[in-house]
Amino acid sequence: MLAVLEAGARNKWSILKEVSNAISAGIHISHGRPSIYGSDVHDWGNYVESARELPDLRLPIDGFEHFCLLLKKDPTTINTVMDRKTSEDLTLVPFEDKKTLTIKVFNDINIIFGPKGTGKSCILQAIAKHYAKSGIDAKVYESASGRLNDIFDVKGKGLSINLNTYGINYCQDEIQVVRTAVEVDVTSVTKFKAFFESTVSNKNAKLILLKDIDTQEEGEAERSFSKYHDTASKIEAFSALVREDLLVKKELSDDEFIELQRILGLLLDRLLGKEWSGFVDWKELSLLNSAIKTFRIEVARKTGSPAKPSTTGFRDYAMNRIKIAASVRAIGKSLGSVIKNEEETVGDLGSGKGKLTFVTQFLFQNGNVTDGELSSLTNVKKGVQKKFVNSLREIGKHLFEDDLFHYVSEFNATEDVDEVKTVYELLLFKRYFTLDGLPYTPSSGEASMVMLQKELGTDKDVYLLDEPEKSLGNEYINDVIVPLIKERAKSGRRVFISTHDANIAVRTLPYCSIYRTHGPEGYNTFVGNPFTNNLVNVEKTEERRDWKMVSMRTLEGGKEAFGERGRIYGHA
């Protein structure tokens, strides 16, 4: 059947014989007949359907004839196809000898490989420097197995949070109210008694009737002014936004825009008018009360007669206690706020383990938090935080009792309590990794996995990876990393990888392979690709190497080692 097929075929070399084992494939190949073993197609009868799941060809194919030319590794055809891919010539100075190195790279996968100590990392650094000069973000990624905690700032050295985002009051004014609280006394009955029992003999004092007028309550007038002032300020800010924001002008017609400005202007004028009249009313009462108190004091001083007390003092006494109570409760409300955990997906651990997540947990010290893994978000010590909250709680228990200010004094006497200016200084935090919702400490290999995923998952124009395979297993490289690298290449990104791993260097089928070698004559750089199966010395173009043989020797330990592994696996 095979002989008949070959006899009728125009291109006999395009017929591949799929055999059942590697030995049979070797026999066919030794007789000059192309053969494959281990095809991804398990049933050729269903090839059309299964082809959708097969890997894409790395080089674009225009048709069957074109495909046949690529199978023959026709240099002209391969170069024509590769020229379709965006490329550029990089002139680098990567080594201490200051010699320039010019290489053609592609908006695709570019692999640098070779024995250790041949300067692969130097080339990567030179490429990074080249792109950085052009304003392109290009940093060399190195295995981060031991730096995962530092990279994610587990200790929270640069951690901060804006409480306003969560609608939490910082309570700076409230804490100051509690800290400076003092008792406001009511007017003694003896002062009223002394006033009514005394007679004013001074004729001039009798004529000053202002001293006998009762003081007026200012609170309502002040609150009315404050309401109009706050609203007017907001409308004024909104009017400025309307005037300056281009989107507002874009959405409204000229007439609508003019009408909106007219209405806002009218509203603002009325509010400002009420604000001013409210201010006048408030200050009128304030000045009147001040004058009454001043006259009473002066009359009493010059006549020797006691002045009429301006107030019983109970209102001030009660409002002082209420103000302290409101402040303590406002602080308590903030400390009782729940801040949702911040979660960031780090990466897939492979082998069905699941996704690793980085969690940041915030918690206010409420006096009962004892978790030793929690740290203070600021420089305020955890002990000071707890003493602050417990002292504040005692104040809250005695707000309307005679000994309230005893506890205020104890609160202020607490060591370093003055370091707490707002509730922000009472924040605790904990940062940790989780797997399936449970705390998890990734191994060094898993740390390398997720950090490499994070690097490849970041949207960049240029990726520079220095030996990314460190601490990684072959299965993970095959199943996760190689597909990610190919995905970056498909999207037209420039990917440069220095590697000793065959899965990365070979299975990615790079558009550009840069091979570094060292011998008696010194260092040499060869450039080529697997499609032409050539590696050309950039300084001596007549010197060529076989890409397949070099890759097999450098990355697989040589043909014999590669074959030996095949025989071992075959007997396993």
* Mean pLDDT for all residues in the chain: 84
- The pTM (predicted TM-score) of the whole model is 0.65
Mean pLDDT to the nearest integer, 542-547: 90
Give the residue, 195 or 223, on which the prediction is more confident.
223
Q: How many Å apart are CA 330 and CA 326, to the nearest integer?
A: 6
- Tell me: the pLDDT tens digits for 450-508? 888 888 888 899 999 998 888 787 888 888 888 889 888 888 899 999 998 888 888 88
CA atoms within 13 A on the CB side of 53: 7
What pLDDT, on the 0 to 100 scale, is given for residue 567? 56
How many CB atoms lie under 10 A from the CB of residue 401? 11
CA angle 193, 194, 197 (to 5 degrees): 85
Mean pLDDT to the nearest integer, 393-404: 92
Alpha-carbon dihedral 25, 27, 29, 35, rounded to 10 degrees: -30
The H or E element containing residue 497 is strand 494-498
What pLDDT, on the 0 to 100 scale, is given for residue 562? 55
What pLDDT, on the 0 to 100 scale, is given for residue 279? 93
- Tell me: the pLDDT tens digits for 119-145? 899 999 999 999 999 888 888 888 765
Q: How many Å apart are CA 110 and CA 529, to the nearest integer?
A: 9
If pLDDT is split at 50, 70 and 90, which confidence band does 329 have? very high
| Residue 462 near residue 494, CB atoms below 8 Å | yes
- Quote the tokens at residue 115: 């024995």
For the chain, the helix, strand and coil percentages under 3-state DSSP, each to the nearest 5: 50, 15, 35
- Tell me: the pLDDT tens digits for 57-111? 777 777 777 677 677 777 777 777 788 888 899 999 898 888 899 999 999 999 9
In whole angstroms, how far apart are CA 444 and each of 145, 220, 431, 451, 473? 5, 67, 18, 11, 12
| Residue 475 near residue 446, CB atoms below 8 Å | no
For residues 155-171, b (16+ Cβ closer than 10 Å) or e, as one string? eeeebebebeeeebbbb
Nearest to 147 by CA among 442, 484, 351, 345: 442
What pLDDT, on the 0 to 100 scale, is given for residue 572? 44
Residues 6+ away with beta carbon under 8 Å from 488: 456, 463, 495
